[in-house]
Amino acid sequence: MTYLNITEVESGVTSLAAAFPNTSDLVELPEPSVEGRTCHALRIGIHTLVPKPTAVLIGGAHAREWGSCEILVNLAADLLHAHAGGTGLAYGGTRFTADQVRSILEGLDLVVFPLINPDGRHYSQTVVDGWRRNRNPAQSGGNPDAVGVDLNRNFDFLFDFRTAFHPLAPVRVSDDPADPNQTYQGPSPFSEPETRNVRWLLDQFVRTRWFVDVHSYTQKMLYVWGDDNSQSSDPNRNFQNPAFDGKRGLKNDQLYAEFIPKTDHDDSAVLAERFCKALKGVRGVEYTPEPSFDLYPTCGTSDDYTFARHIVHPNGTKILAFTIEWGMDFHPPWSEMKKIVLDVDAGLVQFCLTALP
């Protein structure tokens, strides 16, 4: 076996839905990709009369990060097969009992969307393996190097980075379609059908409490915020306050730090730490739990947008949001990727157990 192509990712999701009709549902995303591909997610969980809290897991936003899809398809298969067979799960030295597996499917709904960017993945696997973005040519002006939008810069969070950030902030984003780092944000927030599909999932599953976006690489489990250091003392220093425009994005300075309630920060840190501990138990690999900003300053990312939703819309549900950065290569040899899949899936099972109400 090797990495899945886009047809195999899609068939993996649809086949699981067909094989486990009592514990899963196929979810068709409303918008086809730029090149016309229909995407599906999988809802996993026992149907109950009482609505359950939901965790939404997505992957494949960056085309060249091939293993993210395999991680999520394998996680879905493991949970469904183990539940159906009444067995536990073993990932190297990290093990979960049958009761723990059952508690996840009884206590949560998991929405697994393994491949949000099928066009980009296909292009990366068949033409340019280092391709990061989607394949939208609208802003390219006919330049093949300017095709596509970085989907993880296209979410509606501090999108106007030239206003929001300090001029010296090393924020990883660009408004140039031909940006050689492939971090072009697109012409507007949610300009891309792929990111609108993610937003639709969050709108559709109104009881979502947790969100995880699977990426590579650096062996980290990241939580909000990504635009600046976090602080819990001054709620006026927040992304909605224009008084701090031009001051964001510098590390450990006195100009700005993004407010997050201490309970949200602490709960996020615990979930990230438990994920990393379970992952390490598989074969001793260490991942670091830390705020996204510790990696580098960002804007327009899925995790910051998802957590910010309840602040922008106070009647909305609070969603603790995370980004996994697996491995140390975008597509390592398959022999290593198989091990990474087990590492990360062990961490995700523990994440779900920790999240259980």
pLDDT along the chain (357 residues), means of 10: 94 98 97 97 93 96 98 98 97 98 97 98 98 97 96 98 97 96 98 98 97 97 97 97 97 93 98 98 98 96 98 95 97 96 98 95
Tell me which residue of 286, 291, 289 sits closest to 260, measured CA to CA. Answer: 291
Containing domain of residue 24, as a range? 6-355
| pLDDT score at 132 | 98
In a domain, 340, yes or no: yes
User: Can you say how many angstroms the Cα of residue 151 is from the centroid of all Cα atoms in its chain?
Assistant: 11
In a domain, 94, yes or no: yes
In a domain, 1, yes or no: no
16, 5, 3, 39: CA torsion to nearest 10: -50
| pLDDT score at 321 | 98
Measured CA distances, 344 to 42, 68, 88 (Å): 19, 10, 17
| pLDDT score at 336 | 97
Could you tell me the CATH number of the domain that includes residue 53? 3.40.630.10
The Cα 216–Cα 123 span in angstroms is 18
The Cα 202–Cα 318 span in angstroms is 11
299, 302, 307, 308: CA torsion to nearest 10: 50
When divided into structural domains, the chain yields a total of 1
In a domain, 157, yes or no: yes
| pLDDT score at 332 | 96
| pLDDT score at 28 | 98
In a domain, 58, yes or no: yes
The Cα 153–Cα 193 span in angstroms is 14
The Cα 131–Cα 94 span in angstroms is 34
Other CB atoms within a 10 A radius of the CB of residue 136 amount to 25
| pLDDT score at 357 | 84
Using an 8 Å Cβ cutoff, are 326 and 219 in contact?
Answer: yes
Other CB atoms within a 10 A radius of the CB of residue 97 amount to 12
The Cα 16–Cα 6 span in angstroms is 16
| pLDDT score at 50 | 85
Using an 8 Å Cβ cutoff, are 301 and 157 in contact?
Answer: yes
In a domain, 34, yes or no: yes
In a domain, 76, yes or no: yes
pTM: 0.97
| pLDDT score at 252 | 85
Segments of 158-293 assigned E as strands = 208-216, 220-223, 230-231, 258-259, 288-291
CB contact burial 140-158 (16+ within 10 A = b; e otherwise): beeeeebbbbbbbbbbbbb
Is the Cα dihedral 43, 46, 51, 57 positive or negative? negative
